[in-house]
Each structure stands twice: as C-alpha cells, then as structure tokens.
Amino acid sequence: MALVDDVHDLADRTLSALDASHDDYTYTKRVWRLLQGIVQEGRKFTFRNLVTGTRVDEQVILGRAQLYVTEYLASSTFQHFVSLFEEFFIELLRYWLVAYPGSTGSRDGRMALPAPLGPLLLRDQALGRSGLYRRDLIERLKQVVRTDRRSAHSGGRPARR
C-alpha cells in the first residue's frame, strides 16, 4: 500500500475510534441521567458487586451518579482520546519512516534521531500496540527532547561526539 493510502486508512480508523468513544461517552451519560429519573420516580432496586460483595441501593446510586458522569466517565473518555492520538502519531511516524528511511538525517548528514529510536519505530504493528513498547518509546522520545534542549542552549548545534 502506498504511503498516502496508509495515512488515509489510519485517519479513517482513528476517526472511527474517536466517534465510537464519543458515542460511548454520550450514551453512557444519557443512561445515567435515565437512571436518575427512574430513581426520582420512586422505583426501588439494589445492585450487588459479586467480586467485592458491596451492595448499593437506588439512593446510593443516585448520590454517585453525578460523580460517575462528571469525573469517571469524562476522565476515562479523555484518556481514551489521548491513547488514540498516541496510537495515531506512532503509526504515522512508523509509516513515514518506512516510506522515507533517509528522512531522519540532518543537513550535515548526521542522524537526527538517536540510533536506537529508528529501529524501535519500525517494529511490526502488533508490537506497536503494547503498553511496554509505548513506555519504551516515550522514554526514548524524552531523551531526544532533553538532547534537543541541551543543543538549543549550545547555539542550536548538536554536541560533537
């Protein structure tokens, strides 16, 4: 597949995932509001968590509903959006480096990215989705940022090796 096709496919997948995540947020929020209305109508019920053994009735749920919607649901949706962005960015960078492997060089012919970072980004797609891979990549990117900041303080030139 050509780079442009890969990028369009990636964009379509990411936008679909964003839409699904937003739908989940919207409909879950509406279900909580519906449940609040049911409790306010006077209906009684009890939920039991089989793992923890905790029991809650409709009044406890009513008290927690706002917290669940404004804190937990909003936070988890935001975290999912960030995760989708990370996945999009990493895949886009991988596609670019596969299509243009020489694009990591600087004007003077030196490698713009640390040598270990290039091969890391070129690993297969399945590996790119693991949490360990992301943490490893993020740590290496932080090293790049620290290196860039140091070179910016030395007149913008990379330190000689």
pLDDT digit string, tens, across residues 65-98: 889 988 999 999 999 999 999 999 999 988 888 8
Same domain, 77 and 122: no
Chain-wide mean pLDDT for the chain? 76
Domain span at residue 16 reads: 1-84
Q: Give the domain-ending residue among 84, 117, 151.
A: 84
What SS3 class is residue 111?
A: strand
- One-letter amino acid at 119 equals P
Q: Is residue 126 part of a domain?
A: yes
Same domain, 122 and 74: no
**Res 129 pLDDT > 90:** no
How is residue 93 written in tokens? 């960078």
Angle between helices 74-99 and 3-40 (to 10 degrees): 170
Same domain, 8 and 60: yes
Same domain, 113 and 155: yes
What SS3 class is residue 109?
A: coil
Q: Is 86 in contact with 92 (CB distance < 8 Å)? A: no
Q: Which pLDDT does position 144 carry in this prediction?
A: 54
d(CA 91, CA 98): 10
Same domain, 152 and 120: yes
pTM of the model: 0.60
Percent of the chain's residues with pLDDT above 90 = 48
Q: Is 10 in contact with 92 (CB distance < 8 Å)? A: yes
d(CA 97, CA 93): 6
Same domain, 14 and 79: yes
- Domain total for the chain? 2
